[in-house]
């Protein structure tokens, strides 16, 4: 069976890392038909929008979307991101953003004395509402009393489904769910979140549940990453915590993610956690590991677990033995790392 995959390479280093992920997948024994979607900041300059009006229908005709990153200094970030990735997450209702944070062997960890066995966390990020619901407005523009209102939205449905998903993952791992909250200061949304977490925990007696204030959790990730298993958090909290997690994994270039709508017949969106990295774009030095790892998550979702595992093993092998890009202590180019992964698979 041939899988139809849409490729949204995007901006900056996006096309550079996606090319290597795609080459790695092509070296596997799976049939993929790729569709290149030329959407992003260049498309915006030409058409005045980040993607065409029928974008949803186009992506829905595929089983998965492999994405690089979007964002370019020539387009306001809230325009490019809301015009593409945030819009796709919301309108496809990709409510679970799964971000594995594992330190791979051979990759230097910035935390003194930490080894790969100490860093194996799984972040489950609420992905369609919360602080990124997109609700709010501005008034009295440019006047002294100008006002901007940004409203967080927490629904019982949205919170419960992502918490259940996190607990189900914990059952297959080390059996701990840490729920990030800030219900001491924000009295409504996170209090509802905590109440639902208690209810869901009661349904999962085999899983240990703890509620941790997000500020303390950030410190604990640095002091004791080995004390964490599954971390479930709201959209904003998990966004911030997974950049911290990426750093603990060796850097932004290492981290992978899967945007999923579990149980629904819509394409998942698979992308590295990093952005378009304009500071290094065009130099051929971006680390493709996060994109390759995301492609492995994609193969899993496509029902190709063996290919997913083979790809992940090849990536782990290359991280251990090199070549590595400079962000993780090597001097190789993006292409050389991609070549090495593909060579392992050939
Ligand atoms: P960023 O992740 O692009 O870069 C942060 C730092 O990490 C930079 O120093 C960069 O060089 C480094 N880095 C990122 N990816 C790397 C890789 N593969 N290999 C080596 N180093 C890497 O974050 P930013 O600078 O805050 O954002 C840049 C642009 O990307 C903005 O427009 C932002 O809105 C956008 N963005 C997009 C996405 C997405 O499309 N999913 C995600 C995050 C940021
Ligand atoms: C991420 C990114 C996005 C987010 C941005 C680009 C909107 O930072 O995927 O982590 O915050 O979700
Ligand atoms: Mn982010």
Q: What is the number of the ligand closest to the CA of 274? A: 1
* pLDDT attached to residue 277: 98
Q: For ligand 1, say whether the CB of 71 is within 6 Å of any of its atoms.
A: yes
Q: Which of 275, 328, 330 to mutate to test the pocket of ligand 1 (most atoms within 8 A of CB)?
A: 275
Query: Is 132 considered catalytic here?
Result: yes
Buried b (16+ CB within 10 A) or exposed e, 207-230: bebebbebeebbeebeeebeebbb
Q: Which of 66, 71, 295, 324 to mutate to test the pocket of ligand 1 (most atoms within 8 A of CB)?
A: 71
Q: What is the number of the ligand closest to the CA of 258? A: 2
Decide if 289 contacts 337 (C-beta within 8 A).
yes
* pLDDT attached to residue 280: 98
* pLDDT attached to residue 303: 98
* pLDDT attached to residue 71: 98
State both tokens at 296. Answer: 């492995």
Query: Is 239 considered catalytic here?
Result: yes
Length of the chain, please? 346
Query: Is 243 considered catalytic here?
Result: yes
Q: Report pLDDT digits (tens) over 211-221.
A: 999 999 999 99
Q: Which residues of the chain have pLDDT under 70?
A: none
Residue nearest atom 7 of ligand 1, based on CA coordinates: 252
Query: Is 43 considered catalytic here?
Result: no
Task: Give distance in angstroms: CA of 73 to centre of ligand 1.
Answer: 12
Q: Report pLDDT digits (tens) over 259-284.
A: 999 999 999 999 999 999 999 999 99
- Ligand 3 is an ion; residues with CB less than 5 A from it: 239
Query: Is 339 considered catalytic here?
Result: no
CA of 243, closest atom in ligand 1:
2
Burial class for 155, CB neighbours closer than 10 Å (0-12, 13-18, 19+): middle
Residue nearest atom 8 of ligand 2, based on CA coordinates: 239
Q: For ligand 2, say whether the CB of 332 is within 6 Å of any of its atoms.
A: no
Decide if 124 contacts 193 (C-beta within 8 A).
no
Sign, Cα dihedral of 283, 284, 287, 292: positive
* pLDDT attached to residue 53: 97
CA of 280, closest atom in ligand 1:
11
CA of 288, closest atom in ligand 1:
18
* pLDDT attached to residue 70: 98
Task: Give distance in angstroms: CA of 29 to centre of ligand 2.
Answer: 32
pTM of the model: 0.98
Which listed residue (43, 132, 190, 209) is catalytic?
A: 132
* pLDDT attached to residue 237: 99
Q: What is the number of the ligand closest to the CA of 87? A: 2
Residue nearest atom 37 of ligand 1, based on CA coordinates: 275
């Amino acid at each position: 069976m041939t899988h139809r995959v849409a490729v949204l390479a995007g901006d900056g280093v996006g096309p550079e890392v996606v090319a290597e992920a795609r080459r790695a997948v092509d070296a596997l024994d799976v049939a993929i038909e790729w569709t290149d979607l030329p959407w992003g900041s260049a498309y915006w300059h030409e058409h005045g929008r980040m993607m065409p009006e029928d974008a949803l229908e186009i992506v829905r005709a595929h089983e998965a979307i492999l994405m690089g990153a979007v964002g370019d200094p020539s387009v306001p970030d809230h325009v490019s991101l809301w015009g593409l990735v945030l819009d796709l997450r919301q309108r496809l209702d990709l409510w679970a953003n799964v971000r594995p944070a594992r330190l791979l062997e051979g990759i230097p960890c910035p935390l003194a004395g930490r080894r790969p066995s100490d860093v194996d966390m799984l972040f489950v990020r609420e992905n369609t509402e919360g602080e990124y619901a997109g609700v709010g407005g501005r008034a009295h523009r440019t006047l002294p009393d100008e006002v901007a209102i940004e409203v967080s939205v927490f629904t019982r449905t949205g919170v419960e489904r992502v918490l259940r998903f996190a607990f189900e993952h914990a059952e297959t791992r080390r059996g701990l769910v840490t729920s990030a909250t800030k219900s001491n200061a924000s009295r409504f949304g996170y209090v509802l979140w905590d109440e639902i977490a208690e209810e869901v925990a009661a349904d999962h007696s085999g899983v240990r549940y703890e509620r941790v204030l997000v500020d303390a959790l950030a410190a604990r990730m640095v002091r004791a990453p080995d004390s964490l298993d599954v971390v479930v958090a709201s959209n904003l909290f998990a966004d911030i915590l997974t950049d911290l997690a990426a750093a603990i994994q060796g850097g932004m270039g290492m981290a992978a993610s899967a945007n999923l709508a579990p149980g629904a017949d819509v394409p998942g969106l698979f992308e590295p956690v990093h952005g378009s990295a304009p500071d290094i774009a065009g130099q051929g030095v971006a680390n493709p590991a996060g994109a390759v790892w995301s492609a492995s998550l994609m193969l899993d979702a496509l029902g190709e677990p063996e290919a997913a595992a083979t790809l992940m093993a090849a990536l782990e092998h290359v991280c251990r033995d090199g070549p590595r890009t400079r962000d993780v202590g090597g001097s190789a180019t993006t292409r050389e790392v991609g070549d090495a992964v593909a060579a392992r698979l050939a």
